[in-house]
Amino acid sequence: MKYKPDFEEAIPRLEAFWRGEFIDRPCMDITAPKGKPFHGHVPDTIEQRWTDQNYIIENAEAKMESTYFAGEAVPIFRPNLGPDLFSALLGGTICYNSERTSWVAPFLDWNHLPSFEIDENSFEWQWHIKLYDRLKERSPDRYFVTVPDCHSGGDALLAMRGGTDLCMDIYDHPEEIKTVMKYLEKALVRFNEAFQKKVKETGQNGHVTSWLRTWSPVFATPVQLDLLALISPAMFEEFFLNEVKLQCHVAENTIFHLDGPDAIKHLPIICELPVNAVQWVPGAGQKPMIAWLDLLKEIQSYGKGLHLSCHKDEVEVLVSELSSNGLYICTSADSPEEADELLKTARSLAHK
């Protein structure tokens, strides 16, 4: 593989991660700069920077060219119009606020429900289909292609209604929510069927978990419900758990995205799900990863793997304190040489 010449060496460790095991060290996903950044033409408007496919492809490939992928890090291309793509395909309009942020303006009216069927004639759907067809020609033996980010189910309702309104809807429109969730489950299946097929057409060896960028020998996906921070465990079980379980079954390997301290109360339910691992994200303004060791050990006590992103200075503590079984650590280094040193450190400290 052009941007990851040693990819075959990473496969056994990655396969061990998904089994909840390790070989000689935990999986280490480390990137480092190794050349000049992209300096090509940048489109004039923010929307064009999100949607101009020539610019997006050129930019992504230039970044891969100038990145050292150490350990189990792999080069990926993820088609991306933002986290609310799923809601946009069901009738929403994407607002491009900055080069890093987009969202769908709330549009759901309980008195005038849409069909909740994916609009395959929409700009967003056709944009993806065209892009995947281009990637099918460009990606082989160079990089991996992933399915788009899919904030489905409760997170889709959150985008369609807005946080305050949806929280009130749980009390004011409980039966309507349950009905709509059934429609959203059907849309989730269609979304994954379509985009998994497009990824398969690239002929690549294995698959990558969308924005989590973790290689898997079979289809893999993040499982997520950011709405958890706003609801109780009882509400989770009553309204949204069935759709989350479906997320666990649209791919063969899964990682649950646990986002922020307000979501921790749901951990017992999450760890009963058939997910391979849990990704813990402390959230903006929170303590660093090494401050959450008790929580991380609790997750491991449930028999789940861990997917963690941290500062390079935290690697030694995390590998020393946590079991290397099913452990996957993402970080960045300032140089290829420093990245390789981090791999050696992880190997020297790995343990069951």
* Average pLDDT rounded to a whole number, residues 114-129: 96
Within-domain flag for 2: no
Residue-wise pLDDT for 142-163, tens only, equals 999 999 999 999 999 999 999 9
* Nearest CA among 313, 228, 224 for reference residue 273: 224
- The per-residue pLDDT for 173 is 96
DSSP at 236: I
Domains: count for the chain = 1
Q: Whole-angstrom Cα distance, residue 202 to residue 1?
A: 14
CATH code: domain of residue 253: 3.20.20.210
Q: Whole-angstrom Cα distance, residue 221 to residue 212?
A: 8
Within-domain flag for 327: yes
| pTM score, whole prediction | 0.96
- The per-residue pLDDT for 319 is 98
- Give the structural domain span for 53: 7-349
Q: How far is CA 281 from the centre of its chain?
A: 12
Residue-wise pLDDT for 262-288, tens only, equals 999 999 999 999 999 999 999 888 999
pLDDT at 40 over 80: no
Within-domain flag for 1: no
